[in-house]
Copies of this chain bind each other. A is one copy, B any other.
Amino acid sequence: MRKTSARLADGREIIYFDESDGARRELHDHRDLPERAPGSELRRDPLTREWVVVAAHRQGRTHLPPSDQCPLCPSTGDRRTEVPSADYDVVAFENRFPSLSGDEGRCEVLCFSSDHDTSLAELGPRRVRTIVDAWADRSAALAERPGIEQVYCFENRGPEIGVTLHHPHGQIYALPFVTPRTATVLASARAHREETGGDLFEDVLAAERKGPRVVLENEHWTAFVPEAARWPVEVHVYPHRAVPDLPSLDDAERDAFAELYSALLGRCDRLFDGPLPYISAWHQAPVRDAEARDLSRLRLELFSVRRAAAKLKYLAGTESGMGVFINDIAPETTAQRLREAAP
């Protein structure tokens, strides 16, 4: 893999990850860009002691542009986009409308392909492997920035969950705090260790590997629908080796993940008519806290709001008001359907 870094016209960083060592990328951004948007504000909710990001400048961000105005496509002729080069394999750059910036963190966009009309599911294992390397590279680099406590790589896919740009891409957030979900799960892992002496994730993985909810597995990874799935489609992907984060994965594990994840996304898109809207979230250990790193295990959690071909799950009063999730589909049923959705 060849890595090339440059700066965009307003000073933002851009990093190309190319599969061919011979790739040459345009490093100069010919646009005349306005100054970068002002930073957002972190506020701590006294009722929950959790951080909320107030990002008032984002209200005017680009919203579902037509494909000939896509800012994530390569630059061609007079049409200058966020990516100065005329082609790329995988590219990361700082978000022009970031939720977090400056001392408060950093938001990057990770484009999975220069092809506007493809999807991660269609790109295949070779490209997914390049993307894993990009995730790992950015996770390691962002972890070194002052004040960063956690790096979060994720993909929002589909207009049903509010995606504002169709071009296949994910996002990477470098956060100045440990997220509420991570804190909750770490508390469970700590309590589990105190109560049983065991590792929570090891014990969950061992139980699920023997159970009825495995979807796919190979030498290094298992994908399963968790016993208490909150979403009508929900799959967790655990590495068999206990590692805290993406940079810790070795070559064999990265290749095996690429194979399994490509197959999993294909199955997801065969569940209903048309592409499955989903959120795919990498859970990595906090970057600084040694006890938290010792308690954590890397895993991916993918879930969807789609509960039938024409029906979505909405987060309403029970979920958004109280944090109580009601799942209308038994997790065993979802696992069975995903197993049956073979190519």
Query: Which residue numbers of A lie inside 8 Å of B, CB to CB?
Result: 40, 43-56, 58-59, 63, 99, 152, 154-156, 161-163, 171, 173, 175, 179-182, 184-185, 187-188, 191-192, 200, 203-204, 226-230, 279-281, 301, 303, 307-308, 311-318, 320-331, 333
Query: What would 9 more interface pairs be, CB under 8 Å, given A40-B326, A152-B318, A173-B324?
Result: A43-B227, A45-B230, A50-B323, A52-B229, A56-B328, A58-B328, A59-B329, A154-B321, A171-B317
Known: A173-B318, A228-B52, A279-B316. A181 touches B323 (CB 8 A): yes
Known: A46-B200, A316-B161. A330 touches B184 (CB 8 A): no
In the bound complex, residues from chain B placing their C-beta under 8 Å from that of A328 are 55-56, 58-59
Known: A152-B322, A316-B162, A321-B279. A54 touches B180 (CB 8 A): no
Known: A50-B323, A56-B329, A323-B180. A317 touches B44 (CB 8 A): no
Most buried by B among A46, A313, A325: A46
Known: A47-B200, A308-B59. A154 touches B329 (CB 8 A): no
How far is the CB of A324 from the nearest CB of chain B, in Å?
5
In the bound complex, residues from chain B placing their C-beta under 8 Å from that of A56 are 328-330, 333
Instruction: Check B326–A99 contact: CB distance below 8 A.
Output: yes
Known: A59-B307, A328-B55. A323 touches B179 (CB 8 A): yes
Contact of A185 among B48, B181, B203, B320 (CB under 8 A): B48
Contact of A204 among B43, B47, B204 (CB under 8 A): B47
In the bound complex, residues from chain B placing their C-beta under 8 Å from that of A185 are 47-48
How far is the CB of A206 from the nearest CB of chain B, in Å?
12
